[in-house]
Amino acid sequence: MITSQEEIPSVWTTSFVGLVLTQFLGAFNDNMIRWLAVPIAQEVIGPEMAIVVGSLCLTFPFLILTPTAGWLADRFRKRDVIIACKVAEVALMVLAGIAILYVNTVFLFSVVCLIGAHSALFGPSKFGAIPEMMPTENLSRGNGIMGMVSIIAVGLGTIAGFSLYDATHPVLGAGDWATVWPSALALVGVAISGLATSFLIQTQAAADPERRVTINPLTEVVPSLKLLWDDRRLLRTALGIAFFYFLASLAQQNIDPFVNQELGLSKTDVGLLLGLLIAGVGIGSVVAGYISEDKVELGIVPMGAIGIVVSSLLVFLSGILVDVELPIKEQWAYWGACGGLFLLGASAGLYNVPLEAYLQFRSPVKSRGTILAGSYFLSFSLIVISAGIFYLLSVVINFAPSTIFMLAGLITVPVAIYIIMLMPDLTFRFLLWIFTHTLYRLRVHNRYHIPDHGPALIVCNHISFVDGILMCVSSSRFVRFVIYADFTEMPLLRRLAVIMRVIPIRSTDGPKALIKSINIARDALKDGEVVCIFAEGQLTRTGQMQPFQRGMMKILQGTNAPVIPAYLYGLWGSIFSWRGGKIFKKWPRKWPYEVDLYFGEPIHNPKDAAEVRQEVERLGAEAVAMHAKKKPIPARQFIRQCKSAKSRVKVVDSTKQSLTGGKLLAGALALRRALSREVLGKDEQRVGLLLPPSVGGCVANMALALDRRVAVNLNYTLSEEVLNVCVKKAGLTHVLTSRKFLEKKPYNLEGAEWVFLEDIKEKVTAADKAAGAFGAYVMPASALERSLGLHRVDPDDMLTIIFTSGSTGDPKGVVLSHANVGSNVEAVDELLNLQDADGLLGVLPFFHSFGYTACMWLPMCYKVRGVYHFNPLDAMVVGRLCQENKLTIMMSTPTFLKMYLRRCQKEHFETIDLIVTGAEKLPVDLAEQFKDKFGILPTEGYGTTELSPVAAVNIPDHRSQDVYQQGTKLGTVGRPLPGVTAKVVNPDTFEDLGLDHEGLLLIKGPNVMTGYLDEAEKTAEVVKDGWYITGDFAKVDSDGFVTITGRQSRFSKIGGEMVPHLRIEQELVKICECDGDDDGEITLAVTAVPDASRGEKLIVLYTKLNKPADEVIKQLAETGFPKLWLPASNCFIHVEQIPILGTGKLDLKGVKDLALSATAIHAS
- Residues 341-378: tens digit of each pLDDT: 899 989 988 898 888 888 877 777 777 767 877 787 88
pLDDT of residue 213: 59
Provide the 3-class DSSP secondary structure of residue 571.
coil
| Domains of the chain, CATH where assigned | 12-208+215-422 (1.20.1250.20), 427-628 (3.40.1130.10), 634-949 (3.40.50.12780), 958-1050 (2.30.38.10), 1055-1163 (3.30.300.30)
Q: What band does 169 get if pLDDT is binned at 50, 70 and 90? A: low
Provide the 3-class DSSP secondary structure of residue 1086.
strand
- Residues 408-456: tens digit of each pLDDT: 999 999 999 998 888 888 888 888 888 887 888 888 888 889 988 899 9
| Listed residue (986, 953, 996, 957) closest to 972, CA to CA | 953
Beta-carbon contacts of residue 1159 (< 8 Å; ≥ 6 apart)? 1089, 1099, 1133
- Residues 923-958: tens digit of each pLDDT: 888 899 999 999 999 999 999 899 999 999 998 887
pLDDT of residue 904: 92
Provide the 3-class DSSP secondary structure of residue 200.
coil
In whole angstroms, what is the distance from residue 1132 CA to residue 1158 CA?
A: 10
Phi–psi pair at 1109, nearest 5 degrees: -60, -40
In whole angstroms, what is the distance from residue 1164 CA to residue 1154 CA?
A: 15
In this prediction, what percent of the chain has a pLDDT beyond 90?
32
- Bridge-based pairing of strands 530-533 and 479-484 is parallel
Adjacent-strand bridge partners of 756: 737
Mean pLDDT is lowest, of 44-48, 572-576, 842-846, 912-916, for 44-48
CB atoms within 10 A of CB 537: 17
Provide the 3-class DSSP secondary structure of residue 924.
helix
Longest dimension (CA), the chain: 127
- Residues 1032-1067: tens digit of each pLDDT: 889 999 889 999 887 666 777 675 566 888 888 888
Does the pLDDT at position 702 exceed 50?
A: yes
How far CA 447 is from CA of 103, 599, 628, in Å, comes to 58, 6, 22
- C-alpha distance across the termini of the chain, in Å: 58
Q: What band does 769 get if pLDDT is binned at 50, 70 and 90? A: very high
- Residues 594-622: tens digit of each pLDDT: 889 999 999 999 988 888 998 999 998 88
- Counting other chains too, the contacts that 1080-1085 makes at CB distance below 8 Å and 24 or more residues apart are 1080/895, 1080/896, 1080/897, 1080/898, 1080/899, 1080/902, 1081/895, 1081/1137, 1081/1138, 1081/1140, 1082/895, 1082/1138, 1082/1140, 1082/1146, 1083/1138, 1084/1138, 1085/1138, 1085/1146, 1085/1151
Beta-carbon contacts of residue 843 (< 8 Å; ≥ 6 apart)? 693, 855, 868, 869, 870, 871, 872, 878, 891, 892, 896
Mean pLDDT is lowest, of 168-172, 462-466, 679-683, 791-795, for 168-172
Mean pLDDT is lowest, of 466-480, 987-1001, 1049-1063, for 1049-1063
Arithmetic mean of pLDDT, 471-475 = 84
Arithmetic mean of pLDDT, 199-226 = 70
In whole angstroms, what is the distance from residue 451 CA to residue 479 CA?
A: 12
Does the pLDDT at position 2 exceed 50?
A: no
- Torsion of the alpha carbons at 773, 775, 781 and 782, rounded to the nearest 10: 170
Q: What band does 5 get if pLDDT is binned at 50, 70 and 90? A: very low
Q: What band does 1 get if pLDDT is binned at 50, 70 and 90? A: very low
Which of 1031-1069 are b and which e, b meaning 16 or more Cβ less than 10 Å from the residue's Cβ? bbbbbbebbbbbbbbbbebbbbebeeeebbbbbbbbbbb
pTM (global) more than 0.95: no
Q: Within the chain, how many helices (H) and strands (E) appear?
A: 38, 35
- Residues 849-871: tens digit of each pLDDT: 999 999 999 999 999 999 999 88
| Listed residue (596, 525, 593) closest to 566, CA to CA | 596
In whole angstroms, what is the distance from residue 881 CA to residue 867 CA?
A: 8
pLDDT of residue 459: 94
Q: What band does 800 get if pLDDT is binned at 50, 70 and 90? A: very high
